Copies of this chain bind each other. A is one copy, B any other.
Amino acid sequence: MQRVPFDQLRDTLERALAASGLPLGRAALAARLIAESSLDGVPSHGLNLVPRLITMIRSGVVDTSARAEAVASHGALERWDGHRGVGVLNAYEAMQSAIALSRAHGIGCVALGNTNHWFRGGTYGWQAADAGVIGICWTNTLPNLPPWGADEPRIGNNPLVIAVPRDDGHVVLDMAMSQFSYGALRSYRTRGELLPVDGGFDREGHLTRDPAEILASMRPLPIGYWKGSGLSMLLDMVAAALSGGSATHQIPREPEREIGLSQVFIAIAPTTVGARDEAMRIVDAIVASTGVRYPGQRAAEARRLNLVEGVPVDPDAWRFVLRLVHPESVEE
């Protein structure tokens, strides 16, 4: 496995994004956020998504010069237009504003429409928790999941993130509404393994653990069957209705044309209504009481390890990025 020091990964990404048209300071921020996703052990939503972003920039789907802006606001609630700008930057700035609103009003909410893929949802949970506030955010996606009771993909896997700050490691949940992502299904298939639990339907409509069958039927399962299907629908409704942006069924099904996403960013500042230490004790006690790993623990462990050992990189994605920086220096 190839590993690259974090600083080198981040700086190379910065130059690659700047070479692709992002203004300098914004290239640096986007590069850091993307590199941190790989650092935290989620390369599928870090470095590995960069080639797709570059393709979308080149085809004009993503506008590197656009900046998200508030188009309506009322107290602690703002509606933003992302103007098809770079998704990670739009999302980061929306959460920054939600955090600022929560400091002023106790709770704040930014609904962002007309944006695109935010890479790793957890990024914005960690961002809120690092600022000492509770973060809740979600995005809709292209249609990639059949609702319960149907066999065509008409809902999105709409990742939901909830983050709680904690001195001894934030608790950050980052979960899509599908039981397994298409990426995970492909990994299991490549390794020739069955899924640990049912992950979708086969072509005859029976539940199965066989990833190849699910990839063939295009019918992965929502978490909790009818429950995750309903939750996905509601997340889409709230995001699209609040932002005035597109709903899942209006978003192109081709990943490289996935534009016009709607997202919601909520921040809540517990310290504005009570003692910070009390909240910390409560969260610590809950972590201890369950006796199992808590959401976010794995990311923190990966970060510690990869800061020392280097960040594992996918050779193809890494070569793609290097080529953007040094067009002549990388052999085909």
A228 contact from B224, B233, B270, B291, Cβ within 8 A? B224
Q: Are B273 and A78 in contact (CB under 8 A)?
A: yes
Q: Is the CB of A237 within 8 A of B197?
A: no
Interface residues of A in 48-100 (CB under 8 A from B): 72-79
Tell me the smallest distance from the CB of A168 to a CB of chain B, in Å: 14
Q: Closest approach, in angstroms, between the C-beta of A136 and any C-beta of chain B?
A: 8
- A242 contacts the other chain (Cβ, under 8 Å)? yes
- Please indicate the chain B residues that have their CB under 8 angstroms from the CB of A242 in the complex: 134, 268, 270, 273, 279
- A282–B237 Cα distance when bound, in Å, is 7
Q: Is A248 an interface residue (CB 8 A)?
A: yes
Q: Which residues of chain B come closer than 8 Å to A329, judged between CB atoms?
A: none
The residue that A162 contacts in the complex, of B162, B238, B290, B293, with Cβ under 8 A, is B238
Which bracket fits the contact residues of A? 35 or more
Please, which residue of chain B has its CB at the minimum distance from the CB of A249? B289
Confirm or deny: A188 has a beta carbon within 8 angstroms of a beta carbon on chain B.
no
Closest 7 CB pairs of A and B: A77-B106, A223-B224, A75-B105, A249-B289, A74-B272, A241-B279, A74-B106
What would be 20 A-B contacts, judged by CB atoms less than 8 Å apart? Answer: A72-B274, A73-B106, A74-B269, A74-B272, A76-B76, A105-B105, A109-B268, A150-B290, A155-B290, A162-B235, A164-B238, A171-B234, A173-B234, A175-B230, A223-B227, A237-B283, A240-B283, A247-B285, A247-B286, A249-B289
